[in-house]
Amino acid sequence: QGWTKEQVLENYPQLTQESLQAVFAYSAAHLKDEDTFIFSDGTTG
């Protein structure tokens, strides 16, 4: 399980909502054509 946006901002007070949104936008744009697999032990590949 991952953290919610609120948990990330609470645990990393130096981040802003805008910077977190920028990370999500960047990730979405660059990973949209990638295949990601999540294994039963929680690792990815």
pLDDT at 43: 65
CA 33, CA 25: separation in Å to the nearest integer?
Answer: 14
pLDDT tens digit sequence for 15-24: 999 999 999 9
Q: What is the helix, strand, coil percentage profile of the chain, to 5?
A: 50, 5, 45
Does this model's pTM top 0.85? no
Mean pLDDT of 4-23: 96
